[in-house]
Chains A and B, each alone.
Chain A
């Protein structure tokens, strides 16, 4: 077993385990922490795929930003409720059945597809390529993204403001 394969299986194990914990844990706070683990594991998968820049973004934005926001939200909500937020599931059987069916069919689909067995050798620096493409081919979506953020910012402010 190569180093890459060993890393992959290890990361996959951590990733799936923590993901299941996210959706099954009774404690909402624990769910968020497991999510952070899952996101960091994903960053690891990105590293395996030699996308270092994305791995960094993943850790900074997701594991840093998102998790922090969610923790804030939970804290705020719990203060409003005045009790701990319990987290339960309902319709586990039907939900699991539907999810499993989707998984089975996706896997069947993937198994039937012709996929490359090995990655081609890397040419040049991926991070450099991302930077270049972002400001040439994808400059318009990039700027639109800025507009979207502005709109999101305003929306969040609007929602969060105090009622007059």
Chain B
């Protein structure tokens, strides 16, 4: 099988599964059977992706079919573009989707069969959309899948739609990402107006030949970047991601950690040759990324909800990736995307296992879980160490590469922000580890380790995280960045400092957390209220949008409806008046005949 067929198979299997689940209700209502079908489909996709990754030729493979017929050739095409970037992403998406779907069988065992079937139908659709996004060969197709992914995110966040918070969070996620997507579609259309094609390969060719008109290109690329800002939760559109934690935890792991939020980073990586033409936009991406990383890290410090801590750490790590991309280290950013996808999925699924066992999200209600669920504790620790960037975990190498790339890119201030973030990341993640798994008070209830269907994916991810890191260490850092020698030492030192500090604060109680909060009081208060960004958006929404809506509503109710009512009232009145001339008496009708006769005579006379 050649690469194109494999890619199409990987794309088609989840789609078939979705269609089957969508149009055959008995199958969907069967619950676990639906799950098995969906898992089998994504398993097939994973297999195809792996084979594809092994056998991928050097140059990229592109298959296209014409679409949107127009004069002088089709206006757009549909197709797939497989290169190393897409293939790596394909494997990551298929792998995480597969493991998460498997894990969900255990996590959602108490759901009713119809709900479970619905869940797996959404999952299949999501897998199809995400794989389609990865394989898209042009902007238009990418946008379509991009929106489909957003739709799936909406559906899955709102999976427990009877919970008001979940419904609100789903709507919020949808709206906020749509705000970015608006820029994305405008950018695509403007780019088409400039270049005349949606095709990536054509655009890259033009960029390489320097035939792409550069006038206005910065604006276009900025607009396209806006789409990535929304999807990858960059400041100031990051507000939806923490709320998205209202969905089931496996959904958070899949969509809001490993795959969908990475779509923005993937988009920038995908069209990196175009971004290279606009250094100003790239610098902006770098600054925004670093700022987002630092901001989210400070927010992560004060969260009590284990999933929210992870959500802010996701935002923070996405900031890392974007900063690397902005600094010109595209490979480092994408590398971090892949490693982060693995260990963040691991962390979320581990957190899911904890929540499943304890029945709450609040870390202060957990404690000493190491004794009750040692397996979970170990894999969670693996993920945390990877996230903190400790040698020899995979996260160490990618974070190192990002930092080196940013330093090399000459973005000194963002580099300092990121370095601070490394310290904060280690601190807040180990805060969670110490409070949840060690701590002083035992957790309520009788938590126990999770069943194999859930622990299996956890172990696979943990082994991959560690194994990948060890293989990188053993190969002498082939993919290592070429930054100064001191950067790995600095990063490791900061991470270890963060861990030690967390140990002192939350395990030994040598440093009082309250005293810390007092010392950094303004920052603490600001972080607790999410830097008032949600309030700002809420105010804007209430003040401007609702005001405008009320105005429109008033116009509709009184002006438009008034005109309609007036017209209908006149019609009624005239009709009522005209009805009276229909007396039913033949003689009255004869008057009409007489008048007609008169008219005929007069008319013939004057003619």
B interface, CB within 8 angstroms of A? 591, 594-595, 597-598, 601-602, 604-605
| Docked complex Cα distance between A102 and B602 (Å) | 10
Are B598 and A101 in contact (CB-based, < 8 A)?
yes
Q: Would B597 and A108 count as touching, CB distance under 8 A?
A: no
**Residue from B595, B601, B604, B605 within 8 A of A98 (CB atoms):** B595
Q: Determine whether the beta carbon of A108 is less than 8 Å from that of B598.
A: no
Chain A residues with CB under 8 A of B591 = 94, 98
A102/B605 in contact, CB under 8 A: no
Contact A102 B604 (CB under 8 A): no
In contact, A105 and B605 (Cβ under 8 angstroms):
yes
Q: How far is the CB of A108 from chain B (nearest CB, A)?
A: 7
Asked whether A108 lies within 8 Å of B605 as measured between CB atoms, the reply is yes
Question: B602: nearest residue on chain A (CB-CB)?
Answer: A105
Task: Indicate if A109 sits at the interface (CB-CB under 8 A).
Answer: yes
Interface string of A14-25 (1 = CB under 8 A from B): 000000000000
A112-B606 Cα distance, complex, nearest whole Å: 11
CB 8 Å contact bits of A111-135 with B (1 = contact, 0 = none): 0100000000000000000000000
Bound Cα distance from A98 to B596, whole angstroms: 11
A102 to B594, CA, bound (A): 7
Secondary structure type dominating chain B contacts: helix
Instruction: Tell me whether A106 is interfacial, beta carbon within 8 Å.
Output: yes
In the assembled complex, the Cα of A106 lies from the Cα of B591 at a distance in Å of 17
Interface of chain A residues 68 through 104 with chain B (CB within 8 A): 94, 98-99, 101-102
**Complex CA distance for A108 and B595, rounded to whole angstroms:** 17
Q: Please give, as numbers and ranges, the residues of chain A lying within 8 Å of B594 by CB-CB distance.
A: 98-99, 102
Q: How far is the CA of A106 from the CA of B598 in the complex (A)?
A: 9
Interface of A is mostly: helix
Given A105-B598, A105-B602, list of 9 further CB < 8 A pairs? A98-B591, A98-B594, A98-B595, A102-B594, A102-B601, A105-B601, A106-B601, A109-B601, A109-B604
Beta-carbon nearest neighbor of A98 in chain B = B594
Instruction: Determine the chain A residues whose CB is within 8 A of the CB of B597 once the complex forms.
Output: 102
Q: Min CB distance, A91 to chain B, in Å?
A: 8
CB distance from B599 to the nearest CB of A (A): 10
CA distance A98 to B597 in the complex (A): 10
Which residues on the A side are within 8 Å of B601 (C-beta)?
A: 102, 105-106, 109
Per the bound structure, the CA–CA distance linking A90 and B602 in Å amounts to 27
B596 to chain A, nearest CB (A): 11
Task: State the Cβ distance, B601 to closest chain A Cβ, in Å.
Answer: 4
A108 to B594, CA, bound (A): 17
CB pair A112 B605 closer than 8 Å = yes
In the bound complex, CA of A101 to CA of B598 (Å):
8
Q: How far is the CB of B584 from chain A (nearest CB, A)?
A: 16
Name which residue of chain A comes closest to B591, CB basis: A98
Separation of A152 and B601 alpha carbons in the complex (Å): 33
A164 to B598, CA, bound (A): 47
- Point out the residues of chain A lying under 8 angstroms from B595, CB to CB: 98
Q: Which residue of B lies closest to A95 (CB)?
A: B591
Contact of B605 among A99, A101, A109 (CB under 8 A): A109
The 5 closest A-B pairs by CB, nearest first: A105-B601, A98-B594, A109-B605, A109-B601, A101-B598
On chain B, the residues within 8 Å of A112 by CB distance are 605
Q: Smallest Cβ distance from B356 to chain A, in angstroms?
A: 90
A106: which B residues are within 8 A, CB to CB?
Answer: 601
Residue of B nearest to A105 (CB): B601
Min Cβ gap B354→A in Å is 96
- 11 A–B contacts from the bound complex (CB under 8 Å): A98-B591, A98-B595, A102-B594, A102-B597, A102-B598, A102-B601, A105-B598, A105-B605, A108-B605, A109-B605, A112-B605
Q: Which residues of B contact A105 (CB under 8 A)?
A: 598, 601-602, 605
Within 8 Å CB of A94, what residues of B?
591
Residues on A with C-beta less than 8 A from B602 are: 105
Q: How far is the CA of A101 from the CA of B591 in the complex (A)?
A: 12
Distance in angstroms between the alpha carbons of A112 and B605 in the assembled complex:
9
CB distance from B605 to the nearest CB of A (A): 6
How many Å lie between the Cα of A108 and that of B602 in the bound state?
10
